[in-house]
Amino acid sequence: MTHLEADVLIIGAGGAGMYAAIEAVRRGAERVLLLDRSLIGRGGATVMAQMTVAAAVGAGDHWEHHLADTLTAARGLADPALAALLCEAGAACILEMDEWRVGWARSGDALAAVQAPGHDRARCVYVDFLNTGPAVSRTLRAQVQRVGPAIRRLGEVAVTDLVVQDGAVTGAVALHVASGEALTIAAPATIIATGGLTRLYARNSASANMSGDGYALALRAGATLVDMEFVQFFPFGHLAPRLIGMDPIMWDPFRYKLGGRLLNGAMEDFLDRWGGDAEQGRYSTTRDLATYAITKENEAGRGSPHGGAWLSFTHIPEAELRAAFGPVVDKLAANGIDLTRDCIEVSPIAHYHMGGVRVDPRMRTDVPGLLAAGEAVGGANGANRLSGNAITEALAYGRTAGREAALLAAKGPVRGFAAGLALELLRASGPAVNTAAMVARLQRVMSEDVGPFRTAAGLDRAAAAVAELQAELGLAPPGVPGQPHDLARLDWLDLRQMLLVAAAVIRAARAREESRGAHQREDFPEMREEWRVNQLLRGEGLALSRQAVPA
């Protein structure tokens, strides 16, 4: 068995993890270990983000304006200190990325920016065409490589447990997927940068490896989760016809740029019917409202054929489409889609998690030695994330966590490291079960009853289904240890985390008897002032408490 030691252990090599690694070395860490379950800088959500990035870097803008918009979108639940860090440090990171030649689109001397919904001005920068996430990933990966041997990169490692010694996290236990062997890692500072939980849902916009594992790792290590009921659904996920080779949420920037029309099954505008703005070429309807409108229109029997809404660009001259979509026009043609002629179908798709690990503005959890960064963190976006804030959050929190981790590591190596039971789990051998089918079942349960619209009865049904899956899962992964790329076993280890995280979402959603932002209770349709509180979850038993929103 391999044992590794590091000053700073970073779990997840998306935007947050890579920025954290770079910053940790800048702040003096000498041995940073950057892990990912797939390949470094290629998995996770960052590389998938084809959208825009919000940052107050334009003339006349100020991060406080961005903060005001972020807090408004959050429906009263955001932690203002975390949100301020996102907006202020985020802007600095966007400029640093520019120095690193990420390739932000330009307009004259300045960065080009579009106005996304919920922003008071054009504040969202991007890389053409639909290339924001890949460009951010590539740039950070190049910077990580430039740092040299102080950052050791290691792909295909799935961390299964954190090691806690005398109340502090002192490292982790992991499965090396390529060999099937267990791996232990000792480090005085560990950063959870594992992203969100979109894999819990059947239709989702991120990578296959967003299983919510960071939330489960944090819970089991004794840290606190916050706002777990708030899962963001992106209203305009691609639904039909089958579109491959492209991110399913690619349509949105074109809606801003060109004014695509959202229509129901009868080809009528409908957003205004459900409290949105009749759009008329302006995109002011927020994500939660648009999700609501599409869902309700379908319930009323006026959806598009596959159960979504039509998105149409057919009123736009071909030359304009060509100019805006660039090479994407050809990719669409390969999928049989001609936008001058065809509408496409869109529907809400699991996209982002507002909830997550509770941290202070230095990204420290309640457990010494453990930090979090990026989407894994809860609290900055409250009940609804403003569009464009996810990459900004990844970069700003990654940088902050990297600095803090370096400070921690400077206090010296860990004093104790006993992997114990966590290691036994990776050496155990249980009966064969079809873990891929169980993942699919969980995704169905979550989509049906823990989507954007919830009821007590639906949530209770989901809780029972999760408990049943838990019982079926048993106590040991199927197969034998030491098998290369054993996906059945890996799915078992993922399910162990996913079921705990699903239970956390369900528990928080069941308890919040109101509707706010991404959490809509059909049995409690009003937003209520007495519910302007954050819900916290602790321990594997998911003990729930409430706390006033930080001032």
Partner 1 sequence: MRAALLIQRGGAGEAPREERFELDFEPGESVLDGLRRLRVSADATLAFRYACLNANACKECMMLLDGRVIYACTARLEPREMRLAPLPNKVLLRDLATVIAPPDERL
Residues lying near partner 1 in the complex (CB under 8 A):
2, 38-40, 42-44, 47-48, 133-134, 153-157, 176, 178-179, 183, 207-209, 241-248, 335-336, 433-437, 439-440, 479, 483-488, 491
Residue 192 and residue 372 in contact, taking contact as beta carbons nearer than 8 Å: yes
Q: How far is the CB of 445 from partner 1 (least distance, A)?
A: 15
CA dihedral 105, 108, 109, 115 (to 10 degrees): -50
- What is the nearest approach in angstroms of partner 1 to the Cβ of residue 344? 12
- Nearest CB to partner 1, comparing residues 208 and 266: 208
- Spell out the residues 6+ positions from residue 139 whose beta carbon is closer than 8 angstroms to its own: 97, 100, 101, 102, 103
Contact 417, 161 (CB under 8 A): no
- Name which of 247 and 393 has its Cβ closer to partner 1: 247
Tell me how far, at minimum, the Cβ of 178 lies from partner 1, in Å: 6
| 241 prior amide bond cis, ω within 30 | yes
- The position carrying tokens 């792909």 is 155
The distance of closest approach from Cβ of residue 199 to partner 1 in the complex, given in angstroms and rounded to an integer, is: 10
Q: Give yes or no for a contact between 287 and 381, defined as CB atoms under 8 angstroms apart.
A: no
Residue closer to partner 1, measured from CB, 456 or 488: 488
- In the complex, the smallest distance separating the C-beta of residue 71 from partner 1, rounded to whole angstroms, is 32
From the CB of 155, what's the least distance to partner 1, in Å?
A: 5
Nearer residue to partner 1 within complex by CB, 122 or 246: 246
Nearer to partner 1, 208 or 323 (CB): 208
Nearest residue to 511 via CA among 447, 473, 459, 444: 459
Nearer to partner 1 by C-beta: 241 or 327?
Answer: 241
Angle at 78 between CA 74 and CA 81, to 5 degrees: 135
Residue given tokens 């941290």 in the structure block:
359
DSSP 523-542: TB-S--GGG-EEEEEETTTT
- Give the nearest distance from C-beta 223 to partner 1 in angstroms: 26
Q: In the complex with partner 1, which residue's Cβ is closer, 174 or 189?
A: 174
Q: Is 126 helix (H, G, I), strand (E, B) or coil?
A: coil
3-state secondary structure of 171: strand
Q: How far is the CB of 250 from partner 1 (least distance, A)?
A: 9
State how far the Cα of 313 lies from the Cα of 262, in Å rounded to an integer: 9
Closer of 160 and 435 to partner 1 (Cβ): 435
Based on CB atoms, which residue is closest to partner 1, 47 or 370?
47
Query: Which residue intervals of 326-413 are DSSP H helices?
Result: 328-334, 389-409
Between residues 169 and 174, which has the closer beta carbon with respect to partner 1?
Answer: 174
State the nearest-atom distance from the C-beta of 490 to partner 1, in Å. Answer: 10
Closest CA to 369 of 419, 417, 405, 412: 405
- CA torsion sign for 187, 190, 195, 201 is positive
- Detail the DSSP E strand segments found in 132-243: 151-154, 157-165, 168-176, 181-186, 189-192, 224-226, 231-240
State which residue, 114 or 151, has the beta carbon closest to partner 1: 151
SS3 309: strand
Query: CB of 15: closest distance to partner 1 in angstroms?
Result: 13
Cα–Cα distance measured from residue 148 to residue 338, given in angstroms and rounded to the nearest whole number: 46
Going by DSSP bridges, is the β-strand pair 124-125/110-111 parallel, antiparallel, or unpaired?
unpaired
Q: Report the nearest approach of partner 1 to the CB of residue 244 (Å).
A: 5
